[in-house]
Structure 1
Amino acid sequence: MVSTGLTKESPIIIVGAGVFGLSSALHLAKAGYKNITVFDKQPYADNAYSTTDGADAASADFNKVMRMSYGEEIEYQRLAFDGIKTWDAWNKEIQSSRPEDLPRGLKPSDLIWNNCGFLRMSIDGELSPIERATLANLTREGLRQTQFIIGDPEDEKRARSHFRSGEWEKKSDPFGRRRQGKKLVGVFDSTAGFVEASKACTWVMHLCRRSGVRFILSEKEGQVASFIKNKSGKTTGVRTASCTEYQAELVVLAAGGWTPSLFPAVSSLLETTAGSVVYFQLPPKDQAPDLWDKFSPDNFPVFAYGGWSKGHGIGGFPRTEDGIVKIGYRGTKYTNYEDVRDPTTGKTHRISVPKTRYWPQSYDPAITKQAVDAIKEVVKEAMPELTAIGITGCRNCWYIDSLDNGFLVDRVPNDDGMLICSGGSGHGFKFLPILGREVVKIIEDPTAKNTYGKLWQWRTKDASAKNGLEQGETGPRNWKRQIMATKEDWQFRESSKL
């Protein structure tokens, strides 16, 4: 018996099969809990989290950034490093598996974690205060040797002995700035890279099932419509879209961008926002071998062009195995306010909700002209090889942002039956192997909070919280006020301005 009254046999329901829900389920099972059920409205077992086959949560994606650089936030830095050992172990286990023993969507040759490196490039010629704080904290942890300041004589010398012949030149200057006589300032992080998100989710669902976790994944039976409460207001279960009721001693709400619409009481702490993504489909490999080589993870790093969410707000990845180069824009995190009826109280709230390719109804996705223009400007300057191809696809990736970009993992005040596990704020995926470890600690001992329990506890909105949530529906990020890009805008026929 743990201090919360839960036993290892207590029924636990997790709402959401994305990174927060999967990690929580896996670690609860590892901790010996035997009655765990994960609900989700999306049939992930059938579509293997593929965005082209109907998956539309933020956790379903080609790739996500794997970074240890967190400025002053050393707790996230440490947690990211803790997860690396498991990412490495998962790669080895997949590669040593027989094809028939792997779930749909995975094959033994897959690397779900690719240590291709991360170029954090400055566009103003200076290392930012966040960058300097990152280097200070990595030094403090004895990890300074993993970071290479471009242009620093000692680091450049060390890099040439660390990397394979020619690799440093390609990875540290993928945009050819030195060749063009342009200034190149930044840091190359040799510990970082990307994870293949959809494949990683598929793998962890497989591990969960192997550990006895039950999944209910369907539009009706898997979609949680409301929560069951007892007379004292404690959550005691869920009711699905099929009107079936399931009882639980604990409900973990880990629904990503759908969290506030399912539980509007959290909307003062969490807000659903969209990041904009475009794709460049390279020509077939035999027609463009130079492009495939240039953008290969062996030669091209993950990059932040002037800061992932600052400056241009542009970041990108090496090509996928299918030849897709993905570039994202987070300079503006868009909101989509709609009337939302609280499924428990019946009251109506104005809350930002996702508007994905498949939900609430299917539509041809479009992103804002602001995002397209910003991406095109960087591509013209840094990756002109892609201009002849033009943008070939786009996606709005609906995240869930918190007041301060920190996660929210805590019981709802005055309701011991529900724990919110959300607030990924666009940087949660890398913690897939390790997040659930801390969630279990918070579940088992909610009063004696450890470092992460304190960091992720329920908090109130105050004047110092400036992550856009203070703007609300009247702010400039409102989706309905934006000009949407057309497919004509995707082409590089005229100058676009930031």
Structure 2
Amino acid sequence: MPQITPTSKIVIVGSGVFGISTALWLARAGYTDVSVLDMQDTAAAGYDPLSGIDSASADLNKIVRFSYGAEIEYQRLATEAAGLWGEWNREVEGAEEGGGGEGRLWWNTGFLRMSASGELGAFEIETLRNMEKEGIREFQFVCDDDADIARAKERGWAHKLDPCRRQERFGSHKAVLDSTAGFVYAYKSCAWAQHLARREGVKMVLDPVRGKVVDIASGGDGRPVVATADGQEHVADLVVVAGGGWTPSLIPEVQDLLETTAGSVATVQIPRDRADLWERFAPENHPVISWGSREGKEVYSLPRDENGVFKIGWRKTKWTNFQDVRGNRISVPKTAHVTEEKETRIPLEALNGIKEYIALNFPELTPLGISSTRLCWYTDSIDNSFVVDFVPGRPGVAVCSGGSGYGFKFLPVLGREVVKILEGKGAETVYGRMWRWRGGGEDAGGEDGDGDGESGIDGRRNGLEEGEQGPRVLAKQKMAEVEDWKFT
């Protein structure tokens, strides 16, 4: 691994969560020559997906949660990140007063982990035990426990214990409300992080030609050379590849560790003139919800945004899309705007899972129908834990990826831990050991889901062993069309 100094030339590929957080913390640590390359102009678009930005980070909103089963290290890091989200909120609100704010980022709406069956699962019970050990069990409300219900009433959370009226309609409601959790506006948060990085001196090259990395090679002196689509070569002391779903295409060596996959997302547009629905699904009145995790449902939803967009995600299956990349068959993104082959549809199976969730839990929304769909592309790791390490046999090249659908919540603090690894201190830190380069079948923790997944503690390969012959390949799916958006 290279020995970097404060004046080392460092190039980061990708301006999403992993890239921009790393750039910010490198600059804060005193590194003065840090550049970020990205083929999308995330600055001009403010990361807004409606402005044509395609990445997992450029999303409407993401879940911030602290329920990690037995994985106490991720729970602690998420709890620390929450404090920094609070600081960012105060900074943004202060900037707003001066006319330069981006809008509130973090919303403490609570997170309702709702069972689709009649019992709480083992993961939920283990999470409660760990929160008891950490001294934060008092902020968790089991929805059919009399003492917890009373405490929720005292603290003003009772109205979020059963927003789907499941006890009234079905006679049973098994769930836990985490009153410490909520969501962040993803695109606004990335824009704010980029603003902070620029303020610290980080240079940005965000352009479809000048910022598009086409190759990373080794120069004659052993230093890495980054080639961009404009024909330029950028010699660096350290290259950090944080390209999200494009990472395996740039670093083929990660194929046994990382795979590009897509979650399925749909939205329902809530009209402003429906005051009943507008108020009910507002962040002040509605929590983040997951339904049927580890029970074969794997659906989540977030409160509506300021424009009335109610987002629902389906995570039961993560789709792949294989193409030829430098002689290898690698799963790559297929997005709405950036890729040569474009896609806005989701598989019919996923749409039907989302419609089932709405029909059972929010039947009043069925007349509105689905408003939009999209695939959310990111990288799953072999065990759902991040991969942050130097690439074996590639001096000066590191990979920083493997968010596995839950990395966004760590945006304010992730780069701090990445910097320690880049400085060669990975073996000395718990996260450096967890996120190291590893082989098949090794268990490094983590979870699975688009901002709200489940644990990977069983060491499974997370589908990476399937390859193109597996059942998750997008080309094998029946895709949902607009006519499928209506409820019958």
TM-score, length basis structure 2:
0.94
Q: What is the alpha-carbon distance in structure 2 between the residues aligned to residue 139 and residue 447 of structure 1?
A: 30
Q: What is the alpha-carbon distance in structure 2 between the residues aligned to residue 334 and residue 388 of structure 1?
A: 29
Q: Which amino acid aligns with 1:142?
A: G
Counterpart of 1:280 (choices 259, 262, 268) is 268
Corresponding residue of 1:301: 287
Q: Which amino acid aligns with 1:172?
A: L
CA contact (8 A) 1:237 1:250 kept: no
Corresponding residue of 1:254: 242
Q: Tell me the SS of whatever aligns to 2:131.
A: helix
Corresponding residue of 1:429: 408
Shift of 1:182: 2.6
Q: What is the alpha-carbon distance in structure 2 between the residues aligned to residue 243 and residue 301 of structure 1?
A: 49
Corresponding residue of 1:242: 230
Q: Which amino acid aligns with 1:381?
A: L
Q: Which amino acid aligns with 1:299?
A: N
Q: Which amino acid aligns with 1:297?
A: P
- Whether 1:319 and 2:304 are equivalent positions in the alignment is yes
The correspondence of residues 51-450 of structure 1 with structure 2, limited to 5 A, is 51-98=49-96, 102=100, 106-107=101-102, 110-163=103-156, 167-168=157-158, 170-231=159-220, 234-283=222-271, 285=272, 287-307=273-293, 310-341=295-326, 348-361=327-340, 363=342, 365-446=344-425, 448-450=427-429
What's the Cα RMSD here? 1.5
Number of residue-to-residue matches in the alignment? 472
CA contact (8 A) 2:440 2:461 kept: no
CA contact (8 A) 1:235 1:251 kept: no
Q: What is the alpha-carbon distance in structure 1 between the residues aligned to residue 374 and residue 381 of structure 2?
A: 22
CA contact (8 A) 2:2 2:238 kept: no
Q: Which amino acid aligns with 2:117?
A: D
CA contact (8 A) 1:49 1:202 kept: yes
Q: What is the alpha-carbon distance in structure 1 between the residues aligned to residue 351 and residue 188 of structure 2?
A: 27
Q: What is the alpha-carbon distance in structure 2 between the residues aligned to residue 449 and residue 18 of structure 1?
A: 26
Q: Which amino acid aligns with 1:475?
A: G
Q: Which amino acid aligns with 1:78?
A: R
Corresponding residue of 1:471: 466
Q: Which amino acid aligns with 1:350?
A: R
Q: What is the alpha-carbon distance in structure 2 between the residues aligned to residue 449 and residue 443 of structure 1?
A: 12
- CA change 1:373–1:235 in 2 (3 A) is farther
Q: Which amino acid aligns with 1:72?
A: A
5+ residue gaps in structure 2? 443-458
Q: What is the alpha-carbon distance in structure 1 between the residues aligned to residue 461 and residue 127 of structure 2?
A: 21
Q: What is the alpha-carbon distance in structure 1 between the residues aligned to residue 387 and residue 143 of structure 2?
A: 36
Shift of 1:359: 2.7
Corresponding residue of 1:489: 484
Shift of 1:98: 4.4
Q: Tell me the SS of whatever aligns to 1:331.
A: strand
Q: What is the alpha-carbon distance in structure 1 between the residues aligned to residue 181 and residue 96 of structure 2?
A: 28
Q: What is the alpha-carbon distance in structure 2 between the residues aligned to residue 182 and residue 311 of structure 1?
A: 21
5+ residue gaps in structure 1? 342-347, 494-498
CA contact (8 A) 1:310 1:331 kept: no
Q: Tell me the SS of whatever aligns to 1:391.
A: coil
Q: What is the alpha-carbon distance in structure 2 between the residues aligned to residue 201 and residue 235 of structure 1?
A: 30
CA contact (8 A) 2:2 2:237 kept: no
Q: Quick one: percent identity of the two aligned structures? A: 48
Q: What is the alpha-carbon distance in structure 2 between the residues aligned to residue 274 and residue 98 of structure 1?
A: 35
CA contact (8 A) 1:227 1:235 kept: no
Q: Which amino acid aligns with 1:200?
A: S
CA contact (8 A) 2:53 2:338 kept: no
Shift of 1:231: 4.7
Q: Which amino acid aligns with 1:238?
A: V
Q: Tell me the SS of whatever aligns to 2:412.
A: coil
CA contact (8 A) 2:427 2:433 kept: no
Shift of 1:160: 1.1
Q: What is the alpha-carbon distance in structure 2 between the residues aligned to residue 230 and residue 237 of structure 1?
A: 6
- CA change 1:462–1:179 in 2 (3 A) is closer
**4+ runs deviating over 4 angstroms:** 98-101
- CA change 1:488–1:159 in 2 (3 A) is same
Q: What is the alpha-carbon distance in structure 1 between the residues aligned to residue 408 and residue 37 of structure 2?
A: 19
Shift of 1:100: 6.3
Shift of 1:235: 4.8
Corresponding residue of 2:38: 40
Q: What is the alpha-carbon distance in structure 1 between the residues aligned to residue 2 and residue 390 of structure 2?
A: 11
1:390-430 per-position Cα deviation (integer Å, ceiling 9, x unaligned):
00101100010000100000011133301110000000000
Shift of 1:137: 1.1
CA contact (8 A) 1:13 1:237 kept: no
Q: What is the alpha-carbon distance in structure 2 between the residues aligned to residue 385 and residue 263 of structure 1?
A: 47
Q: Which amino acid aligns with 2:69?
A: G
Q: What is the alpha-carbon distance in structure 2 between the residues aligned to residue 331 and residue 451 of structure 1?
A: 30
CA contact (8 A) 2:47 2:191 kept: yes
CA contact (8 A) 1:235 1:415 kept: no
Shift of 1:311: 2.1
Corresponding residue of 1:480: 475
Q: What is the alpha-carbon distance in structure 1 between the residues aligned to residue 3 and residue 336 of structure 2?
A: 42
- CA change 1:6–1:466 in 2 (3 A) is closer
Q: What is the alpha-carbon distance in structure 1 between the residues aligned to residue 333 and residue 295 of structure 2?
A: 23
Q: What is the alpha-carbon distance in structure 2 between the residues aligned to residue 76 and residue 466 of structure 1?
A: 20
Shift of 1:101: 5.6
